[in-house]
């Protein structure tokens, strides 16, 4: 099946066109892979041993079968490779059910550009889980070897919480003292009772010196009488550790060696202890230095991003200008990170006003770069070239994005943007709208009307061979009508009592509720609702909502 270092992808899909779209998307992302296509349950199960996939991509809705059943059967027979659903649509409750069952991710077919990143992410996660599993196994082996080494060296340890009086012993301590765990009540006084009468006072003085903070390190030799009545000589090393966590708490740590017959090893033990202490100090110093370096780098990066935010705000349309063009308007702009992939834009010429709400691919720094490209293109197309029809503006913007993101080899990057674009003619009282995957919400006489945008996003990631046609809508408006343009960030937020997405229906219901209120109050209500909905959940996307009372 080709070189083994290529990623082996097993595809469960019964529609040839969808299979071809998946393969073309992965090829476009320059992924090194080989694949095998199966269409039925039996083909899938028969192919697992022979193909030995690194990852499985499965449609959810199949003839007489579904992706979740496929995932369950693959896991039941012992295959643990990553499993991603690639489906046309999936209700939230099904998506949550799949993820809870253990499916690594799901990608909608109209967003296949996200598939390569999703594959790389789950493969890397599986690799890290494998490494973590190996590390845990190695730790268990190390702990077992340490216990064996302690037994061979007759070296035990104990810990004493001075305030509570409780102690904890290692397994070797019980062997040295020749008692079982049931015979020891884990108290400080019980330890002292084992010491020989002639050495008990010395042992108590040494331990108390550590417990009271009078000494940092103490070593002493002392005799004990074991549970079986045998007398042994022990070499004990004590250390104290004062923990401050809202209250002071002293703990005493000890290593204990039976030197009854191994007294000659005392010097070697001391040298080993000193070496270990030096290594702890060296590693602590190295860790402190590394943390300081990371903190400095983080400060530098954050400062750079904050400066980039100032640059982005300077390039974006000024919020105050909306108040000049439309005194009753607001812009709710809430970046997920310091800088944003959502941006707002406007332009005025004579009695016509042009407004856009734009949602770029990604967020943070990549989204911010895309927003700057889109903003400059809109300025050039409308302000410099004089394009006035919204559909023409979207076509020009689409071509400009593709050209701007084209690499030296002629390949297009998988980036773009969704746009809602309006022209408002205050003289004729007409509003003209065109959208690329974004709608216009229009309120007239208390009723909501949603005008859908065209089904094409702008940019190079949409796998479409023909010409994109952007439909244009013109409506007559009345004074007092309200329009709203937005990205999908507001209603894509997870939250509420169920932790699910808000969804567009809830968003439009909210617009219907707040629309009759004063415009500034609308802004406050929308922002407060989103914050309350989100709760402790992380913000998942940039948020942009523009509201205008005409």
What pLDDT tens digit does each residue of the chain (550 aa) get? Answer: 444 578 999 999 999 999 999 999 999 999 999 999 999 999 999 999 899 999 999 999 888 899 999 999 999 998 989 999 998 888 888 888 988 999 999 899 888 899 999 899 888 888 888 787 777 777 666 666 665 655 666 788 999 988 888 888 888 889 999 998 888 887 888 888 999 999 999 999 999 998 888 888 899 999 999 989 999 999 999 998 876 565 667 889 999 999 887 654 554 556 766 777 777 777 777 777 767 766 666 565 555 445 445 555 555 556 667 777 888 999 999 888 877 788 889 999 888 999 999 998 766 667 777 888 888 899 999 999 999 999 999 999 998 888 887 744 445 556 788 999 999 999 999 999 999 999 999 998 878 899 999 988 888 654 555 678 899 999 999 999 999 999 999 999 999 888 899 999 999 999 999 999 998 899 999 999 999 999 999 988 899 999 999 8
- Phi–psi pair at 327, nearest 5 degrees: -55, -30
* Residue 216 domain boundaries: 154-261
Same domain for 537 and 389, yes or no, is: yes
Same domain for 186 and 86, yes or no, is: no
pTM of structure: 0.47
- Single out the residue of 53, 40, 64 nearest to residue 10, CA to CA: 53
135 phi-psi bin (left φ>0, alpha ψ -120 to 50, beta other): alpha
Same domain for 300 and 323, yes or no, is: no
Report CA-CA distances (Å) from 127 to 82, 105, 123, 133, 134. 10, 16, 6, 10, 11
Domain-embedded: residue 142: no
Same domain for 48 and 93, yes or no, is: yes
Domain-embedded: residue 326: yes
DSSP conformational letter for 264: G
Same domain for 366 and 508, yes or no, is: yes
Pick the last residue of a domain from 315, 334, 354: 315
Domain-embedded: residue 119: yes
Same domain for 359 and 431, yes or no, is: yes
Same domain for 114 and 198, yes or no, is: no
Domain-embedded: residue 148: no
Would strands 248-258 and 231-244 be described as parallel, antiparallel, or unpaired?
Answer: antiparallel
Domain-embedded: residue 356: yes
- Single out the residue of 428, 429, 431, 398 nearest to residue 415, CA to CA: 398
Domain-embedded: residue 161: yes
- CATH number, domain of 104, equals 3.40.50.2300
Report CA-CA distances (Å) from 505 to 219, 500, 530. 73, 13, 15
Same domain for 326 and 368, yes or no, is: yes
Secondary structure (3-state) at 231: strand
For the chain, the domain total comes to 4
Same domain for 343 and 323, yes or no, is: yes
Burial 287-323 (b: 16+ CB within 10 A, else e): eeeeeeeeeeeeeeeeeeeeebbeebeeebbeeeebe
Domain-embedded: residue 215: yes
Same domain for 448 and 345, yes or no, is: yes
Same domain for 372 and 406, yes or no, is: yes
Same domain for 396 and 545, yes or no, is: yes
DSSP conformational letter for 212: T
């Amino acid at each position: 099946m080709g070189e083994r270092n290529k990623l082996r992808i097993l595809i469960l899909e019964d529609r040839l066109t969808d299979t071809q779209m998946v393969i073309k998307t992965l090829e476009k992302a320059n992924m090194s892979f080989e694949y095998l296509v199966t269409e039925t349950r039996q083909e899938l199960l028969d192919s697992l041993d022979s193909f030995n996939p690194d990852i499985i991509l499965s449609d959810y809705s199949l003839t007489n079968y579904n992706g979740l059943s496929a995932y369950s059967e693959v896991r039941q027979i012992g295959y643990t490779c990553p499993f991603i659903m690639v489906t046309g649509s999936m209700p939230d409750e099904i998506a949550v059910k799949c993820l809870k069952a253990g499916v690594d991710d799901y990608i909608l077919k109209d967003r296949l550009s996200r598939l390569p990143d999703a594959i790389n992410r789950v493969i890397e996660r599986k690799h890290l889980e494998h490494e973590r599993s190996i590390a845990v196994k190695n730790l268990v082996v190390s702990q077992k070897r340490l216990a064996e080494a302690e037994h061979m060296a007759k070296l035990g340890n104990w810990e004493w919480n001075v305030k509570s009086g409780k102690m904890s012993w290692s397994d070797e301590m019980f062997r040295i003292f020749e008692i079982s765990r049931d015979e020891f009540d884990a108290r400080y006084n019980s330890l002292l009772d084992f010491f020989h009468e002639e050495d008990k006072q010395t042992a108590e003085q040494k331990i108390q010196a550590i417990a009271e903070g009078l000494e940092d390190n103490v070593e002493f030799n002392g005799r004990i009488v074991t549970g079986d009545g045998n007398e042994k000589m022990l070499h004990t090393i004590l250390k104290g550790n004062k923990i401050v966590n809202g209250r002071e708490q002293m703990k005493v740590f000890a290593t204990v060696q039976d030197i009854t017959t191994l007294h000659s090893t005392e010097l070697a033990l001391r040298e080993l202890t000193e070496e270990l202490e030096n290594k702890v100090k060296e590693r602590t110093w190295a860790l402190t230095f590394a943390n300081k370096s990371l903190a400095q780098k983080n400060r530098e990066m954050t400062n750079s991003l904050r400066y980039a935010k100032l640059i982005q705000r300077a390039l974006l349309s000024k919020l105050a200008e909306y108040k000049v063009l439309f005194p009753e308007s607001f812009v709710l702009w809430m970046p997920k990170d310091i800088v944003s992939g959502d941006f707002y834009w406007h332009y005025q010429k004579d009695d016509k006003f042009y407004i856009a709400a734009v949602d770029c691919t990604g967020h943070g720094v990549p989204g911010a770069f895309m927003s700057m490209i889109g903003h400059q293109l809109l300025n050039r197309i409308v302000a410099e070239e004089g394009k006035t029809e919204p559909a023409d503006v979207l076509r020009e913007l689409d071509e400009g994005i593709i050209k701007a993101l084209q690499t030296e080899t002629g390949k297009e990057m998988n980036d773009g943007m969704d746009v809602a674009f309006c022209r408002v003619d205050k003289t004729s009282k007409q509003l003209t709208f065109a959208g690329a995957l974004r709608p216009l919400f229009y309120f007239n006489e208390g009723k909501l009307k949603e005008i859908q945008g065209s089904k094409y996003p702008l940019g190079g990631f949409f796998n479409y061979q023909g010409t994109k046609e952007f439909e244009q809508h013109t409506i007559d408006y009345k004074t007092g009508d309200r329009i709203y343009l937005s990205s999908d960030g507001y209603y894509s937020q997870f939250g509420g009592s169920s932790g699910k997405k808000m969804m567009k229906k809830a968003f439009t219901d909210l617009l219907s509720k707040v629309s009759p209120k004063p415009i500034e109050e609308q802004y406050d209500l929308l922002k407060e609702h989103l914050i309350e909905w989100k709760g402790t959940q992380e913000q998942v996307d940039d948020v942009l909502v523009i509201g205008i009372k005409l």
